[in-house]
Amino acid sequence: MPSERLDKITALNCSVSRRDARKLIKEGRVSVNGQTVLRAETEIDTATDEITVDGVSYAIKEHIYIMMNKPAGVISASEDIKKTTVVDLVPQRLRRRSLFPAGRLDRDTTGLIIITDDGAFTHRLLSPSHHVYKRYIAKLDAPLDAGSVKRLEEGILLEDGTHCLPARVKAYEKDGEPFAQIEIREGKYHQVKRMTAACGSHVTELQRVKIGALSLDEGLAPGECREMTPEELALVFENE
Ligand code: URA
C-alpha cells in the first residue's frame, strides 16, 4: 500500500505549508473516508483513501512536478549557502520540503528543467536505459561540418576516454550564426559542450527546450515556473 502522512498529503493537495496543514487537521477540518481525523501523523493509503478538507474532496497527489524556465546564473541544486538555486525560485505556494531539480543544467545553461519531490521519477528520467532524449539548442562559435555530425550521431569518444552514446544532431545557421540541435539521453558533466568542443565547435549559449516529448512552455519567462499537468508528465516518457 502506498502510504503517506496525512499532513504531507493535505499540504500537497491544498497547496499549503506542512504547518498550515497540521493546523487544518487540528481544527477538525480534514476527514479521511468520511471520518474526521485529528492526528497529523495518520498514515494515508494514497491509492484508495479519500480526503476532504472543509467537506471538499481532493484527488490525492503524492508528488509535485514543476516546469521551470531556468535563467542563466542560477544553479541546479536544492540549496546553496551563496548561490541562488532553481528551488529558491519556486514560489511559496508550490514549495515542498524535499524539492530538487530532476537532473542538472550548468549555471549558464537556460531552459527546461523539472523540479520535483519524486526520486523514482528522477531516476527514470536520468537513466540512459529509459531512452528519454533531452533536446538542446546550442549556439556555436564555428559550424559543425557533416563529418562532425556523423561522429556525434555514432557516439563520440572524448579525449579523456568518456564514451558518449549516439546523439541526434542537426546543424544549421540562424541569422548568419552557427547553431546545432542536439538530443542526448544521458547527462554527463558538461556533455553537450564537451561533445561539440571535441569537434572543434565551442558552445557560446546553451538552452534545453525539450525532455522526451515535453516542450518548454514558451509562455514562461526566464525564472518562472508552474505545476505540470498530468498530460505533460506523461509526455516526458514519450519518445519522438
Ligand atoms: N550539456 C552541457 O554541456 N551543459 C548542460 O547544462 C547540459 C548539457
So where are the chain's domains?
Answer: 4-58, 65-128+214-235, 133-211
pLDDT in tens, 50-66: 899 999 888 777 788 99
Quote the DSSP letter at residue 33: T
Question: Out of 45, 49, 88, 106, which one is annotated catalytic?
Answer: 106
Tens digit of each residue's pLDDT (9 = 90 or more) over 115-128: 999 999 999 999 87
CA distance 185 to 103: 12
Nearest CA to ligand 1 atom 7: 105
Contact 224, 126 (CB under 8 A): no
Report the separation in Å between the CA atom of 192 and the middle of ligand 1, taken as the mean of its atom positions.
Answer: 5
CA 45 to chain centre: 26
DSSP H helix total and E strand total for the chain: 6, 15
* Cβ of residue 46 lying under 6 Å from some atom of ligand 1: no
Hey, do 4-58 and 133-211 end up sharing a CATH topology, with the first three levels equal?
A: no
Question: Rounded to a whole number, what is the distance in angstroms from the first to the last CA of the chain?
Answer: 34
Backbone angles phi, psi at 24, to 5 degrees: -60, -40
CA distances from 230 to 233, 234, 235 (A): 5, 6, 9
CATH of 133-211, one of 3.40.50.620, 3.40.50.1360, 1.20.950.20, 3.30.70.1560: 3.30.70.1560
Query: How many whole angstroms separate alpha carbon 104 and alpha carbon 107?
Result: 9
Over the stretch 176-233, which tens digit does the pLDDT of each residue have? 999 999 999 999 999 999 999 999 999 999 999 999 999 999 999 999 999 999 899 9
Q: Write out the H or E segment, with its range, that includes residue 180.
A: strand 177-184
**Beta-carbon neighbour count of residue 196 at 10 Å?**
27
pLDDT in tens, 141-172: 999 999 999 999 999 999 999 999 999 999 99
Structural fold of domain 65-128+214-235:
Alpha-Beta Plaits (3.30.70)
Whole-prediction pTM: 0.84
185 CA distance to ligand 1 centroid (A)? 12
Task: Pick left, alpha or beta for residue 230 (phi over 0 → left; psi -120 to 50 → alpha; otherwise beta).
Answer: alpha
Residue 224 is which amino acid? E
- Cα 29 to Cα 136: distance, rounded to the nearest angstrom: 47
CATH of the domain spanning 4-58: 3.10.290.10
Grid coordinates of 89: 525560485
